[in-house]
Amino acid sequence: MRIPPPRSPRRKQFAWLLLVVGGFLGAHRFYLGSYLGGAAQLLMLLAGVGNLPGSRIALALLGAWLLLDIYWVHVRLKRLQGQDESDAVRRPAAQAYDLEALGQADELRERFLAATEVRDWARAVALGEQIVANARKVFKGPHQNLATSLCMHGQACYQFKAFDQAKASLEESLAIGHQTGMRPEDMAIVRKTLAMTLAGIGEHAAARRRHAHLPAQLSADGRTGDDTVLLGLLEDQERRYKAAFERRDLALAERLCAEAVHTSRQLCGGLGEAVVFHLVSHAEFCRQLQWHDKAVSLLDECLAIIDQLGLDDSWRLGPSNTLALLHAGAGRSDEAEGLYKKTIAMAVALSKGNSTDEVVRAINNLAFLYANTDQDQKAELCYARAMVHLDKLPPEEGDADLHADLLINFAQLHMSRNESEHAKPLFERALAIQERSCRGISTSAATAHNDLGLIAQEEGDLREALKHFKRTLLLNQICAPDHSGNLANAQRNIDNVSLALAAVARAARLEPST
């Protein structure tokens, strides 16, 4: 589920409060970005209270100016709210590595080496994928550490006979090694493993050609020789499109998944559970690529096959939920609401009265739909119902990302209604869940820190706000470096709070003692 982007740090109520309470200090002008005007008002105040000639005139002019600022604040807020986010100047991200993520990478490498020592290549491949994903987050761009991680993953894939995966990792490792000046002996290892991988691909292709010309014979498990070849091909295609999805290469994942759907149709004679499974994956890739019509067509076909095969609701739950997401994204809220309600009924029936992640997800999705269509009361009731099920789940178990998203979505509903006292504990609970599951390194954690910073800013705790905004910037740099709008917004929040703190500090130094 997509979390709404962070909102502007300048709040209308806070600006008016600063004008009323701290207008004579120019606080409202500092807050709204008029630093020269704020400094001028502060100087006029100092001149007025300094018992200098003309001090009464300075105070009178300041009072008149503050009256005019009632109109100025209204105009300034309107202009700031109308600014286009795309006009924000992207600031270069600081090259700061997250020490916790680096520590996690070292731990993964130790587990990888332990798996290779016992020749558990399946586990080694899975750990290698995590090591590469971690390196991409920490080192945003070509780096020798990333090249080494790709080489480790490629070697494990070669041993596991996942030759296409090994080839992709080793070729990328070689390219990065050339860019970063990797040591010759390390480059030689990569080249040697790549040569063995290419040889393995050639042998695998020759074996497939031999199988293609053999007459259909029954194998030991009752399948024909042709079925065995198709089953091996399908497993290879599934492994490849899942690996492409992990790398966030959605276009490649969609193409490979389409091939898997075709192979599963051949294997099952057109209808079968394997066809349903890969159709659901194909539809999800199309949804994320914004190919909505194609995704709807695939899901409709999937649900029709489920009806023909007489499969239970556990097969229908995923396609129905994805179809509801598509209708919601296309603005068809009535169709989406009906599907979400059916999904909730199926999830509750399958859980047999217990609380499960599927129940929480289904109710959370309906609540999010209500919140996006300005049905706040219905949304609040749904979120409260989802929270009841969340509280019944065993602590520290289940889908941590789902639980954090539910809490953040509910908190943001409270934020939209200026109920920060209800939103704050929900954001803090979401951060605690993320800290346990991924050490707090996620886009969800970035969203929670951003909104906690806004709450602290409204409460006047500028130091606490600055701490949250700095954490938001760091997490966005690690988890979503391509989202320039989020990076610029986080940096802007830091700058604004830093300037306000500096202004308060200067005012405290300049204030005459009594």
- Specify whether the CB–CB gap between 384 and 372 falls below 8 A: no
- Domain membership of residue 24 (yes or no) is yes
Token pair in block for residue 277 = 């499974």
**Is pTM, for the whole model, over 0.85?**
no
Cα–Cα distance, 30 to 46 (Å, whole number): 17
pLDDT digits (tens, 9 = 90+) for 110-134: 888 888 887 777 788 888 888 888 8
Sign of the C-alpha dihedral computed for residues 188, 189, 190 and 194 taken in this order:
positive
Which of these, 419, 394, 418, 388, lies nearest to 406 by C-alpha position?
388
Based on the domain organization, do 401 and 466 belong to the same domain?
yes
Instruction: Name the packing angle between helices 250-268 and 273-288 (round to 10°).
Output: 160
Of 214, 244, 277, the residue at which a domain comes to its end is 214
- Domain membership of residue 480 (yes or no) is yes
- Specify whether the CB–CB gap between 250 and 288 falls below 8 A: yes
Based on the domain organization, do 129 and 79 belong to the same domain?
no
Based on the domain organization, do 458 and 496 belong to the same domain?
yes
Based on the domain organization, do 35 and 102 belong to the same domain?
no
Based on the domain organization, do 48 and 107 belong to the same domain?
no
Cα–Cα distance, 317 to 344 (Å, whole number): 9
Which of these, 15, 134, 93, lies nearest to 476 by C-alpha position?
93
Cα–Cα distance, 232 to 237 (Å, whole number): 9
- Domain membership of residue 141 (yes or no) is yes
Of 171, 197, 214, the residue at which a domain comes to its end is 214
- Determine the Cα angle at 458 with ends 457 and 464, to 5°: 30
Based on the domain organization, do 146 and 57 belong to the same domain?
no
Within the chain, which residues score under 50 in pLDDT? 1-8, 84-95, 209-225, 513-514
- Domain membership of residue 508 (yes or no) is yes
Residue 221, SS3 per DSSP: coil
**Residue ranges in 50-98 assigned as alpha helix (H):** 55-81
The full 3-state SS of 378-398, as one line of letters, equals HHHHHHHHHHHHHHHCCCCCC
- Domain membership of residue 354 (yes or no) is no
- Domain membership of residue 321 (yes or no) is no
Report how far apart, in Å, the C-alpha atoms of 251 and of each of 237, 239, 248, 289 are: 14, 15, 9, 8
Based on the domain organization, do 71 and 117 belong to the same domain?
no
- Specify whether the CB–CB gap between 305 and 278 falls below 8 A: no
Cα torsion through 364, 369, 372, 373, rounded to 10: -140
Based on the domain organization, do 39 and 150 belong to the same domain?
no
- Specify whether the CB–CB gap between 280 and 306 falls below 8 A: no
Based on the domain organization, do 429 and 486 belong to the same domain?
yes
Based on the domain organization, do 118 and 74 belong to the same domain?
no
Instruction: Tell how far CA 229 is from the center of its chain.
Output: 38
- Domain membership of residue 404 (yes or no) is yes
- Domain membership of residue 363 (yes or no) is no
Query: Where in the sequence is the domain holding 418, given as residue range(s)?
Result: 394-514
Based on the domain organization, do 136 and 31 belong to the same domain?
no
* Count: domains in the chain: 3
Residue 426 pLDDT:
92
Of 83, 113, 128, the residue at which a domain comes to its end is 83
Can you give the length of the chain in residues?
514
Based on the domain organization, do 44 and 105 belong to the same domain?
no
What is the number of alpha carbons within 13 Å of residue 259 lying toward its C-beta? 17
Token pair in block for residue 493 = 């929040």
Residue 98 pLDDT:
60
Q: What is the CATH number of the domain that holds 453?
A: 1.25.40.10
